[in-house]
Amino acid sequence: MRYLLALCLAVLFAAPAVAQPAPRGVWLFDKAPSYPGVTMMQVAADGEAIRGAVTTAWYGPMRMLNPSWRDNVLSFDLRNLNDRDRPTRRWTARFIRSGVVLKGDFWSSHLVQTGRRGTAAQAEARAFRFAPALPALGTVPPDGLAATPPMGWSSWNRFAERIDDRTIRAMADAMVASGLRDAGYRYVNIDDGWQGRRDAKGVLHPNAKFPDMKALADYVHARGLKLGIYSSPGPKTCAGYEGSYGHVRQDAQTFAGWGVDYLKYDLCSGEWFYDDADTVKRTYYEMGAALKATGRPIIYSLCQYGRFDVARWGRSVGGHLWRTTGDITDDYRTMSDIGFVRNPKFPHAGPGGWNDPDMLEIGNGGMSDDEYRTHMTLWAMQAAPLVMGHDLRLTSAGARALLENREVIAIDQDALGQQGRRVSRDGDREVWRKDLAGGAMAVALFNRGDEAAAMTLRPETVGLRRITALRDLWRGQAVALDAAFTVPPHGAVLLRVEAE
């Protein structure tokens, strides 16, 4: 008997470990890291095969791809839209006694969260609520707004999420005191970071930093300015705040009720749900129609980074401007890539609808004066919206000279609304032409090289027979018809040309 017991034990300990089957069930994550805000994980099985999904605040349910189970770890991939070169991201869920540790390299950060096993009923309580179906694509009729490119200021480039009521009021005051309002800048735009929570009726409220949006709008309006705000068609904005997903008409009404005059609508997490031309157009149409239905004139700024040739259809969904590229940053390389390469691809700009190469960085300090002059020249030549992005209280004399030059602004704001284009390129030297109402023309000479370059304007380069008058707009003076310009590295000359 004793031998038998010993034998049994020996067999037991020598036997290979029996693989545990993957657990099935539902796990809830109460305090998940905010991105992508995992709230629930579900694991089921089809015979041997494992099936599963995680639910996130940003994207709703995400199906597990290639799930596998080994050594108490469930590994799976999730679809990733943020990096074309990496269409999926690897995640692991390690099952330990106290729950589950979920880790993902999504957005190159790690998520670590211990969950507790929930019941199906609890899981249902956490179910993601899908928005009602998008409307069929329609057309928002033109409304006469934005006959010339919108001009103003936005909080994002300088302040990002560090914004509050006081700062926005201070910007409105500075816009007036600096003379920028009188130079034509009118919109004071609150970008991402103002949003709080929805109440039981779904009404979106600002966060504590913005105690009274209506009073803020009144303050801005009293200074002869207009107020802009920001949202997303997705559940979350790019910075993780509440988006308009599922509340589009309600939010449009809320904004109009506050007295908002401008909405930037940024795709962000909406790209999960609206990821082809059809759904992206329809989601932008949905808000365009909702804004129109409020009866308030509101400039509608589409921000979906130029996808699906937005310039072709931006107007028809109610847009007055549409971003053509990803985000600008305060360096010459990014600015010039946007200005010289990306924005000019689209020929659809004109009164009522404009290509938007993103906000200005002038005054933020990352470029030289010559580079900032090129920035302003390129934006003016391309009839781009002029939305400043610096702290208006700290506008240096140099920044002011660039931002308040009336003759340069007049090129941007010209009534013909033509987006200028390159007409010649010789190494690093480029000549651009923009026709103006009344028959004159703006011509820009750009030197994209690292050494100063000598440039002259020959009439035939810009398709003219004979030039009769030439005015250097940055210097504010007439120049000789055969003037030779020394254009500094990364610099620009902007001319107003009269011709026969």
- Residue 89 is encoded by which pair of tokens? 């991201």
Cβ closest to ligand GLA, residue 164 vs residue 192? 192
With binding defined as CB under 6 A, does residue 378 bind ligand GLA?
A: no
Active site residue 261: no
Applying the rule CB under 6 A, the residues between 157 and 196 that interact with ligand GLA are 191-192
β pairing state of 25-28 and 116-118: antiparallel
- Residue 247 is encoded by which pair of tokens? 């509340």
Work out the angle between the directed axes of helices 165-177 and 213-222 (0-180°, nearest 10): 10
With binding defined as CB under 6 A, does residue 262 bind ligand GLA?
A: no
Q: Which of 105, 327, 370, 472 is catalytic?
A: 327
Q: Least distance from C-beta 125 to ligand GLA, angstroms?
A: 30
With binding defined as CB under 6 A, does residue 238 bind ligand GLA?
A: yes
C-alpha closest to that of 492 among 426, 430, 441: 430
Looking at residue 258, its amino acid is W
Active site residue 327: yes
Q: Least distance from C-beta 342 to ligand GLA, angstroms?
A: 13
Q: Least distance from C-beta 415 to ligand GLA, angstroms?
A: 28
Q: Least distance from C-beta 333 to ligand GLA, angstroms?
A: 18
C-alpha closest to that of 495 among 21, 487, 475: 475
Element (H, E) at 227: strand 226-231
Q: Least distance from C-beta 287 to ligand GLA, angstroms?
A: 15
Options 132-140, 231-239, 405-413, 434-442: segment touching ligand GLA (CB under 6 A): 231-239
User: For the CA atoms of the chain, what is the radius of gyration?
Assistant: 28
With binding defined as CB under 6 A, does residue 263 bind ligand GLA?
A: no
With binding defined as CB under 6 A, does residue 156 bind ligand GLA?
A: yes
How many residues comprise the chain?
A: 500
> In 387-426, which residue ranges form alpha helices assigned H by DSSP?
397-403, 406-412
Applying the rule CB under 6 A, the residues between 59 and 98 that interact with ligand GLA are none
| CA terminus-to-terminus distance, the chain | 118
Options 91-99, 117-125, 237-245, 475-483: segment touching ligand GLA (CB under 6 A): 237-245
For 207, counting Cβ atoms within 10 Å of its Cβ (0-12 exposed, 13-18 middle, 19+ buried), the class is middle
Question: Out of 111, 163, 239, 436, which residue is the one contacting ligand GLA (CB under 6 A)?
Answer: 239
What is the C-alpha to C-alpha distance for residues 309 and 359, in angstroms, rounded to an integer? 20
- Residue 125 is encoded by which pair of tokens? 């309580």
Q: Least distance from C-beta 191 to ligand GLA, angstroms?
A: 5
Question: Out of 266, 286, 371, 391, which residue is the one contacting ligand GLA (CB under 6 A)?
Answer: 266
Q: Which of 164, 192, 261, 266 is catalytic?
A: 266
Helices and strands of the chain, counted as H and E runs: 13, 27
Which residues belong to the active site?
A: 266, 327
Q: Which residues bind ligand GLA (CB under 6 A)?
A: 156, 191-192, 237-239, 266, 303, 327
